[in-house]
């Protein structure tokens, strides 16, 4: 069962150009620009984050309708704790609101909701709601929505190295057993295919410690649109551009 989206002539035009047989399996997005979107309008940063949540709703629906299998959203990084306490509290409150208000609709539409990152450091209420969301939706067969929370790729890789080193130390594996698959299996994204397409709005051109191991052969798509203004048409454009690239994975 798919979500219902309001039709838009502009969306329909670009959507018709997309090859429905070549939809990227995994799309990762760095949701950026909420604060600048608010500042541009003379609004508090909190209003930008709230507007960004509305965009999440739209993009999740659109991704589900397109047949994308995995959507990974960079929601809160390990570095975001450096932000003012009020802003961090706002982000945690919005996460709670999103989970409480949207989980039944997401479940009804066959979406799996899971978190990647060290969520043990989040407020207890957030941890409980994330656990509840995953327990409710884990057997669904549609879109897998991964929320990257208290996530940092360097921290993720460091933890993977420690886990593997401990396995070697205990004699469970030998050094010769360490390969790409073993490393991938010790990351938060175990069992999830690497992203085909990474999108970053807001005019920034950096990766910001996001999925560093997983994006070795990912296609990048950048836009100067702030996240709250990132409508479905931009996702369509990103996918259309992706489909017109040649992915050789180091070959000819």
Catalytic annotation present for 80: yes
- 8, 11, 19, 32: the catalytic one is 32
Which H helix or E strand runs over 149? strand 144-151
Tokens of 55: 């965009």
Spatial separation of the C-alpha atoms in residues 53 and 143, rounded to whole Å: 18
Dihedral sign for Cα 186, 187, 191, 194, please. negative
Nearest to 230 by CA among 104, 48, 102: 48
Catalytic annotation present for 194: no
Torsion of Cα atoms, 201 then 202 then 208 then 210, to 10°: -20
Can you count the helices (H) and strands (E) in the chain?
A: 8, 6
- 11, 80, 140, 209: the catalytic one is 80
Spatial separation of the C-alpha atoms in residues 226 and 235, rounded to whole Å: 13
Spatial separation of the C-alpha atoms in residues 238 and 244, rounded to whole Å: 10
Nearest to 17 by CA among 233, 222, 196, 225: 233
Residues designated catalytic: 32, 80
């Amino acid at each position: 069962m798919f979500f219902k989206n309001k039709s838009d002539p502009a969306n329909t035009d670009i959507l018709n150009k997309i090859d429905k047989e070549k939809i990227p399996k995994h799309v990762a997005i760095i949701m950026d620009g909420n604060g600048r979107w608010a500042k541009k309008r003379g609004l508090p940063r909190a209003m930008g984050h709230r507007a960004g949540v509305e965009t999440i709703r739209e993009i999740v629906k659109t991704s589900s309708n397109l047949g994308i299998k995995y959507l990974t959203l960079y929601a809160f990084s390990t570095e975001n704790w450096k932000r003012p306490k009020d802003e961090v509290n706002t982000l945690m409150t919005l996460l709670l609101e999103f989970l409480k208000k949207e989980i039944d609709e997401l479940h009804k539409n066959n979406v799996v909701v899971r978190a990647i990152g060290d969520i043990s450091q989040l407020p207890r209420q957030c941890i409980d709601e994330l656990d509840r969301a995953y327990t409710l939706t884990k057997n669904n067969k549609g879109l897998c929505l991964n929320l990257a929370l208290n996530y940092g790729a360097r921290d993720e890789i460091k933890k993977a190295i420690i886990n593997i080193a401990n396995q070697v130390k205990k004699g469970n594996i030998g050094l010769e057993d360490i390969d790409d698959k073993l490393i991938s299996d010790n990351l938060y994204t175990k069992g999830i295919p690497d992203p085909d397409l990474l999108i970053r709005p807001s005019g920034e051109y950096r990766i910001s410690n996001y999925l560093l191991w997983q994006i070795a052969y990912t296609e990048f798509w950048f836009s100067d649109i702030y996240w709250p203004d990132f409508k479905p048409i931009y996702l369509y454009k990103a996918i259309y551009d992706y489909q017109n690239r040649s992915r050789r994975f180091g070959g000819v």
